[in-house]
Structure 1
């Protein structure tokens, strides 16, 4: 694995239920998130909103960035 994967997080704005929020993710996770949204045929904001709704229902809800990373990891394991 090359050093290109070890890039600090990049903050980007997303809109969830009509409210803007920012998420800091490493570029690799942004790429994976975009690919997942495209594969599921939904806009990136809609996918993040779905992940957010799922994380809020968790017994011990992680932060949104952590939830996105966990969701992507679980998706990769399918």
Structure 2
């Protein structure tokens, strides 16, 4: 991997983690009727309230960050 592609991977990972963090605070109206309104967060809608899917999303973001900074860390 060249330097530009590592930088792109790192930026994708950071942007993905920032999206997951901010999506928790963004309210979304999922359904509304005459007597009720169902509100949720964007993160809840994105992960379908599944903790395993959230873990996969976090692992994917951390993988991209690791892929971007792996050239800076020398393996022993």
TM-score between both structures, scaled by the size of structure 1: 0.28
Bigger CA radius of gyration: 2
Q: TM-score, normalised by structure 2?
A: 0.29
Q: Which has the higher contact order (CA 8 A, sep 6+)?
A: 2
